[in-house]
Chain A
Amino acid sequence: TQLLEQSPQFLSIQEGENLTVYCNSSSVFSSLQWYRQEPGEGPVLLVTVVTGGEVKKLKRLTFQFGDARKDSSLHITAAQPGDTGLYLCASHSGNTPLVFGKGTRLSVIA
Chain B
Amino acid sequence: SAVISQKPSRDICQRGTSLTIQCQVDSQVTMMFWYRQQPGQSLTLIATANQGSEATYESGFVIDKFPISRPNLTFSTLTVSNMSPEDSSIYLCSVGGRLNYGYTFGSGTRLTVV
- A positions within 8 Å CB-CB of B: 31, 33, 35, 40-45, 48, 50, 86, 88, 90, 92, 95, 97-103, 105
Contact = CB atoms under 8 A, between A and B. Distances in A.
Interface string B17-39: 00000000000000101000000
B48 A97 contact: yes
A43 B42 CA distance: 10
B100 A50 contact: yes
Interface of B: 4, 6, 9, 31, 33, 40-45, 48, 92, 94, 96, 99-108, 110
Contacts of A98: 33, 45, 94, 96, 103
A86 B41 CA distance: 9
Contacts of B41: 102-103
B94 A88 contact: no
B105 A97 contact: no
Contact of B102 (A33, A40, A99): A33
A97 B34 CA distance: 10
A97 B45 CA distance: 8
A48 B94 contact: no
A27 to B, nearest CB: 17
A60 B33 CA distance: 31
A90 B48 CA distance: 16
A102 B108 contact: no
Given A97-B33, A97-B48, A98-B33, A42 B42 contact: no
Given A97-B48, A101-B42, A42 B102 contact: no
B106 to A, nearest CB: 6
A99 B45 contact: yes
Contacts of A42: 4, 6, 92, 94, 104-108
A100 B42 contact: yes
Contacts of A88: 42-43
